[in-house]
Structure 1
Amino acid sequence: MVSAPSVSSLTLLFIPISSLRAPSEGDSTNLDAAIESLLNVEKQMRLAGDVAGTRKAAIDIVELCYKAGAWKTLNDQIVLLSKRRGQLKQAITAMVQKAMEYIDLTPDMDTRIELIKTLSSVSAGKIYVEIERARLIKRLAKIKEEQGQIDEAADLMQEVAVETFGSMAKTEKIAFILEQVRLCLDRQDYVRAQILSRKISTRVFDADPSKEKKKPKEGDNMVQDAPADIPSLLELKRIYYELMIQYYTHNNDYMEICRCYKAIYDIPAIKEDPTKWIPILRKICWYLVLAPHDPMQSSILNATLEDRNLSEIPNFRITLKRLADLLCLSLQEAEKHLSDMVNSKSLIAKINRPMGVVSFLTAQDTNATLNSWATNLEKLLDLVEKSCHQIHKETMIHKAVLKA
């Protein structure tokens, strides 16, 4: 039989922690005594199966150590509470979540790293705090990256497989995997970056965010809301394709680079801003020209030619030296590759060697020139007619107002 908690213990349990005198950093005697009293209460509540009481006692111990500035004691108590016999998972979850609030309040970087490592070790292997552990690992990897330890940061992130987390929000999962991909690209581990990128299905970016979330069925895991710093789904789409552009650039896969830019170009926020879509549409055209001719290239080419925004982009004339710089080739190699593509009819180009200029304009016959002039004149006359109509309309409105 488990004995009931004593009156003094229950009284201590339900006294607000703010009413207790927080011991100073050097006042270790009072701090130890206060912690010992709360540990006794926690033990009685835990053995009695009181979830709320056990959780509150654990949180009070964490808060007491923080207010006293005893960071080493805080780490020790977190480990001690997590290892107590028959510890309730609700208490561990509450304790970890409360201690995570103090990470940004640590006095120095060493203390911050030690607290993150303590919480990470306590959360390891526990499904009910797997999301908290993933967030802790992400923060620790960020610190390692800021210290210039890219390899250590990448190794830390690869320990966590968030795609198996049923209660993590979809956007937070994608953001975590994208961080794994980015760190692998930063340390030039292209094979692992490709493997990690395949965990994200591109169809997830086409989901309609306006649709209401389905109500979880009884017994299903509740999905937690993503933190405020997690980007939106469309922003994650842009980040994903920008990372894939880095990967395909390493492999010189111009067709895939073009497809990535095309996916970014189709994002509504990009298409609505000319300052954003104009440089992207230019790059689509560049890599479309460099891509080998195949059915996919022809399909994207035809779709691009039908885009009305293409008329907003001026025709380029480019120097041979600049072309060689863009392709990371010497002048002789760039000229040879360009000549080979012209001979294979992959593109139309003319090289002016004395001036060092490459022209990609197609030669037009007299009929085509006359047709283009006729089209331009038709557009001009249409604009004049519309302008006259608007002037006449405004004049009539103005006269009507004066008569009134």
Structure 2
Amino acid sequence: MLTKKYAIQQTEENWIDWFLANGEKSFRGKQVLEWFYIKQTFNPEHFTNLPKQIREKLQNDFDWGLPIIDTILPSSDESEKILLKLHDGLFAECVLMPSENRVTLCVSSQVGCRMACTFCQTGKMGLTRNLTTGEILTQVVIANKRLIERNILNRSVTNIVFMGMGEPLDNYDNVVGACKALIDPKLFGLSKHKVTVSTSGLLPQIEQLGKDLPVALAISLHTADNEQRSQMMPINKKYSLEQMKQVLLNYPVQTRHGITFEYVMIQGVNDSLQHAKKLVKFLHGLKAKVNLIPMNPHPGAANMVATDFEQMRIFQKYLADRSIPAPVRYSRGQDVSAACGQLAAKRKDEINLPPRTVALARRREYLAEKVKQ
């Protein structure tokens, strides 16, 4: 017996090929995606603009299951962490952050991550697999449905940040495919300025992204000292700050503030005036904004804690005095392990457990399900 393909994992090209092979026109491929992402319908019986026999064949040829919401953890700041169980028993999560003027969704692009940044829980999990384009986009569908359930009327996700689990550019094709759907006026219709792809610094992929996609770029930087960055972020051993600077000087900027640089402020590690001076030197010639993010605590973070307010103010002022915007961004969802650097597929009773312990627990669940099958 052949295993059915999962419908949400099919790209528009896949759908076009399927319809052509079944004697239909290629535009049917876009129609299926419109049912998914505009009408949020994943049952082919309801695809009323398709012939009945084609709907029946779609039902028979594909598995129409969606990721299951395993856990929703509401934060005291009204954000929510949504833990999703994927079709193969693995987990990914997204963070829904409604506010007065926007609704931001932080999406995951991988199950785990192989970048191994020292300050990040996800990096301590290791990489299990990439998410497909459909698995990324269904996070948005699920978030929009969640807004309705919460009675947040007439609101939908307006801003997407690829800052959840995983290194987005390590899953390049699926992330670009998702971004194209997000800014497609016939699908999600989001502004290209409101879709942000964050990366730790995969330089060939950054160059390619600039050619392929007009979305906002964020660089996970955290220090402008080469030796220190290599210790904090192993990717820097392969692609140095000097190499990154050359790539970014040629990057086609998409937003009025240019490229965003994320800088996690860790007390006594990267928050001195000397660090600020090196950062200013690195940014010279770049149109840039720096988001200063106080280190979010998590098990396994050793002695890393957030920079105190006064030192952060000094650091911020040094940048501002040199015409570099440097807002302090306090991460939402800290109390439910949903903040920047905290995502590790944790349920409520696991928030205080080390990320490796949780990763092993998820692995045991995954293997147990495989045995049942």
Give the TM bin, normalised by the shorter chain.
under 0.3
Query: TM-score when scaled to structure 2?
Result: 0.25
Higher strand share: 2
Query: TM-score when scaled to structure 1?
Result: 0.24
Determine which structure has more spread, i.e. the larger CA radius of gyration: 1
